[in-house]
Structure 1
Amino acid sequence: MIIIVVAALVVVLGLGAWTVKNDGYLFGIATPLAAEDYEGTGGEAVSVDVPEQANGYSIGAQLEELDVVASADAFVRAFNANPDAGGIQPGTHEMKLQMSADSAVALLAENNINRAGFTVPEGYTVDQIRASMIDKGWPKEDVNATFKDIASLLPPEAGGKAEGWLFPSSYEVKPDTTPAADVVQEMVAQAIAVLDQLDVPADQRETVLIKASLIEREARLAPDRPIMAAAIENRLAANEWLGIDASLLYGLGRTSGGLTSAELADGSNPYNLSVRGNKGLPPTPIAAPSRASIEAVMSPADDPDVFFWCTVNLETGETKFADTQAEHDQNIAELHAWMDANPGWNG
């Protein structure tokens, strides 16, 4: 998505086109000249930032330059013909390239504004967040320097590791106004705020985030989260391996795909929680967990017997839980049957 800033002028929205010589009218005479215009509602998506005190002509001139509309003249006429145009609000509007002037004004007047400048999706890793910041326009040097010294922005219980502490949410920040360090600091502050809201003791924050991150990467459907939380607690209490593939994938620097026998057998990878790997939790969170996953850890399902889960339909995310190995084996067989019927999926 492209972020475009429309230059601000000191005239308020709603300025009549007849006051501007270049708007397609001659010195206020209401006889319009022909103005170039596109047809239809446009093509490629584009975000246009309308600042405070912009007016119809300033917006039109910029949209013409950026090929959102064919001409400022056509836009100004459409602006003045639309009674809702005076209510266009400043902010980031979602637009399209090569729109007709009428459709451009109508879409702006809907005020479908993206007020957040940067969004961290649930389940993103630190590396993904860093790459996303660079992709959205933060200077690479600034971002890399911030993440290199990120321990200084974290609470002591994070142990100097940022994984799991950059809370997934939307933030009203932009590359040209907010330094990278301030963005990261805001993410960490939001994580702490959510943990406090959910009454997570400070000395348990890291453990809760680790468990929540495992659930975040494994759960496809919301009702499954507290059941997974119960299964994790039951397996830890029984001193059993967790066997969570998402953890090993993280340790291998991946977020999806299958695992080889050699990878599953590599006990030197601290994120390998398989029976040939390591018992207990991984050393750090493996992703940025959502509030829902943290809530699941704090309030797991009341099920002292659930021990296994298996996603049996990779398209819908349907997951089945089991108390015994025999039941789990049946669920695995169901997954394999689904994969045989749907070639091309690798989980």
Structure 2
Amino acid sequence: MRRRPSPNDGVPPDNNPTEILELDEPYDDLYDEEIEGEYRDYDEDYDDYDSGYAERVDESRGSARGDLEEKDRADVDDDAEHDSDDREEPDLLDDVDDELDTKREGKGRRLVKWAGALALLALLSVGAFFGARELLGFGYDDYDGPGEKDVILHVEEGDVTSAIAAKLVELDVVASSEAFIKAGEDDERILGIQPGYYQVKTKMSGEAAVAALVDSDSRVGHLQIKPGTKLADVIQPDDSVTPGIYTLLERASCLRVDGEEQCVSADELRKAADSADLAELGVPDWAVASAEKAPKGHKLEGLIAPGVYDLRPGGDAEDLLSQVLEASATRMEAAGLPSAAGSTPYSPYQILTIASIVELEAVKADFTKVASVIYNRLEINMELQMDSTVNYPLKRPVLTTKAEERAKETPWNTYSMYGLPETPIGSPSMEAIEAALEPEETDYLYFVKCEENGLSCFNVELADHEAARKEAQARGVY
């Protein structure tokens, strides 16, 4: 029989690698005992391993010969010799590895099952906690009652419910954001809270805080000025009072401090406007010189633009005026003042004055035409003769002025003077300012209200104007 060459052939004895074969039963026993922490004597294990190995090899060979007895002996001998030479012990090692892998896989599956069970228990615990919190209402801090001390909350543009809740916590209005958010879940009005200032109290329950913010009475510092509004109050023909800007500012300034309402009065505002440095107060540079020449009580006329304001409450008269003047300057700049005035024959302040007349004399659709009449009359040095300028200093203005009123000399009466009034006669809208900057190109010198919707009829000749006026009166337009 041929011997298969060994890897150690030709290698000095001391350098030959030692071959270690790990077979079925002895290796398995040793592995199990190592896991249990019991160790056997190495020499005994080796002897058992050696004798067992020899016996298994003999049995294997005998079995192979018995199975092949019916075949050709010569072939069997050759095959047996060939099989004996070529058989490799790793066949036995494969069986051992398979058995070890099976045991390891079994233990791995048990670990996975335990991990899954623990994860399931954790999820059930979390679900139980949140379910109980939903049903029983615990899990966040909340105050009881309507609150204690008055404080001001500022809601800014873009603030969502969570941002408002965070600000309330910072002011100690609510104990936690969750208290406010939870209380507002069923109240859609919470989504309609507008930017501005709100009077609330410290240590309110979430429910009380929601109720306070959706109550319109809680909003402070909110101011709306309509186009054409004057600084002073105006008494209408039906004896109703149209509040002026100073009165509107007074109302917006009111807030509760320790249960008492405090306001900045209209008189305080008027005095501040007359005595303060206008530039420091916030009047635009282009308007300071002209405004300083205005009569007392009228210095800020036309310089506070119409629109909505959210004023920071708690300040004095100068603080309130500064807030509206600074915002107004920005709005006027957006309408074209002072930059666009350079393309006209007039200063930015004069454009503002023209715009204030346009605002009070016409409806929006006629703004550019009325502006053209003013331009045309000023160009030929013709009196403007606008009833709105006569009515301006009157506490009780009327649509059609009386002869004695038109004869009075005032800084604003354009029947008794040439040119523009000394100051604007109200707060012009942005559209009126734009019309004053770019009037329609016409030859019109006259206009009169001739339609019930406020539209006017425009004419070049006085005779045509008089005819249109009489017709309008006959139809009961005015």
Q: Classify the TM-score, shorter chain.
A: 0.5 to 0.7
State the match for 2:372 in structure 1. Answer: 230
State the match for 1:18 in structure 2. Answer: 137
Q: CA deviation at 1:198?
A: 5.4
State the match for 2:429 in structure 1. Answer: 290
Identity %: 21
Q: CA deviation at 1:205?
A: 1.0
SS of residue paired to 1:320:
strand
State the match for 1:146 in structure 2. Answer: 272
The one-letter code sitting in structure 2 at the alignment partner of 1:133 is: L
Q: 1:278 aligns with which of 417, 432, 437?
A: 417
Higher relative contact order (CA 8 A, sep 6+): 1
User: Once the two structures are superposed, what CA deviation does each residue of 1:34-72 show, in whole Å capped at 9, x if it has no partner?
Assistant: xxxxxxxxxxxxxxx8963259xx99xxxxxxxxxxxxx
Correspondence list, 1:91-170, <5 A: 91=195, 117-127=222-232, 128-136=244-252, 137=254, 138-140=263-265, 142-152=268-278, 153=281, 154=283, 155=285, 156-160=288-292, 161-170=299-308
Indicate the larger mover: 282-291 or 134-143.
134-143
Q: CA deviation at 1:172?
A: 2.5
The one-letter code sitting in structure 2 at the alignment partner of 1:297 is: A
User: In 1, distance between residues paired with 2:446 and 2:434?
Assistant: 20
The one-letter code sitting in structure 1 at the alignment partner of 2:389 is: S
Q: CA deviation at 1:297?
A: 1.3
* Contact preservation (8 Å) 1:50, 1:89: no
The one-letter code sitting in structure 2 at the alignment partner of 1:139 is: V
Distance change >3 Å, CA 21–CA 158, structure 1 → 2:
closer
Q: 2:353 aligns with which of 207, 210, 216?
A: 210
The one-letter code sitting in structure 2 at the alignment partner of 1:215 is: V
Moved segments of 4+, more than 6 Å: 20-23
State the match for 1:336 in structure 2. Answer: 473
* Contact preservation (8 Å) 1:216, 1:289: yes
TM-score (norm 1): 0.63
Q: CA deviation at 1:256?
A: 4.0
SS of residue paired to 2:392:
helix
SS of residue paired to 1:118:
strand
User: In 1, distance between residues paired with 2:135 and 2:433?
Assistant: 53
* Contact preservation (8 Å) 1:163, 1:287: yes
RMSD between superposed Cα atoms in Å: 4.1
State the match for 1:37 in structure 2. Answer: none
Q: 2:323 aligns with which of 154, 164, 183?
A: 183
Distance change >3 Å, CA 209–CA 196, structure 1 → 2:
closer
Distance change >3 Å, CA 92–CA 327, structure 1 → 2:
same
User: In 2, distance between residues paired with 1:81 and 1:207?
Assistant: 54
Q: CA deviation at 1:227?
A: 0.5
Distance change >3 Å, CA 338–CA 134, structure 1 → 2:
farther
* Contact preservation (8 Å) 2:197, 2:222: no
TM-score (norm 2): 0.47
User: In 2, distance between residues paired with 1:239 and 1:17?
Assistant: 82
State the match for 1:320 in structure 2. Answer: 457
User: Once the two structures are superposed, what CA deviation does each residue of 1:280-314 show, in whole Å capped at 9, x if it has no partner?
Assistant: 111111111111111111111111x211111123x
Name the structure with the higher helix share: 2
State the match for 1:68 in structure 2. Answer: none
Q: CA deviation at 1:213?
A: 0.7
Indicate the larger mover: 191-200 or 280-289.
191-200
Q: CA deviation at 1:208?
A: 0.6
* Contact preservation (8 Å) 1:157, 1:206: no
User: Once the two structures are superposed, what CA deviation does each residue of 1:220-239 show, in whole Å capped at 9, x if it has no partner?
Assistant: 2x220111111111111122
User: In 2, distance between residues paired with 1:225 and 1:261?
Assistant: 27
Unaligned runs of 5+ in 1: 1-14, 24-48, 60-75, 95-100, 109-113
* Contact preservation (8 Å) 2:358, 2:367: yes
The one-letter code sitting in structure 2 at the alignment partner of 1:181 is: L
